[in-house]
Amino acid sequence: MPGSAEKARIRSEFLELRRKLPFEEVWRLSSMVQERFLSSDFYCGARLIALYSSFGNEVLTDEIFAAAVRDGKEVFYPRVVPVSGPGGSGSRRMMFFRVRSLEELAVGSYELREPPAGGQQASDADGLDLVVVPGVAFDEQGGRLGFGKGYYDAALASAGCHKVALAYEFQVVKVKIPLEPHDVAVSAIATEERLIVTKASGGAQKGGARRI
């Protein structure tokens, strides 16, 4: 499919750009992105928040976790688990588990740090107020290009919560990312330079792309 081929090309290009970032730059830019996110209405209005554990020079999330704990919010991290019940044989899906300390996370699927299997207080995305998502590239309309596994798209497909991406400014492309029917748009994108609020936000923090 032409759309799939173009997504693969963009994914390869932006993964390489991100891979080349020195860790000092990852840390510096991540701190700016996290500060911008923490000042947003999306964060301030949420009580149950899902974060991701950064991998491969993704924007870090540790400062958000620390702030959320201080603010009395409940924080969840994703884990891909087998689907139970009839018809679930061999299938896997993403669930979110409550984490009270980052020391609970351990390397699991795809070399990502995950909450332990059988962790406490599991939830699907619809039980959360806000899901913070990673990605490889984004457009200003909220289009998101992930790693291609599809777990986030499947988990967020019917969820009514806000989905906010953390990204470096260079990951926001000027052209429209070719989306397929299963791709889920994000409500906003926080970068080191601006907070981009998209039509998928459902009206939260209206105003489009802003530098705040």
pLDDT classification of 82: cutoffs 50, 70, 90: confident
pLDDT(130) > 60: yes
Asked whether residue 81 is assigned to any structural domain, the reply reads: no
Q: How confident is the model at residue 147 (pLDDT cuts 50, 70, 90)?
A: confident
Work out how many domains the chain is built from and give that number. 1
* Structure-token pair, residue 24: 């000092």
Domain assignment of residue 50, given as a range: 2-69+126-210
Question: Would residue 102 count as lying in a domain?
Answer: no
In a domain, 56, yes or no: yes
What is the CATH number for 33? 3.40.50.10420
Supply the pTM of this predicted model.
0.88
Instruction: Determine the average pLDDT of the residues in 192-204.
Output: 82
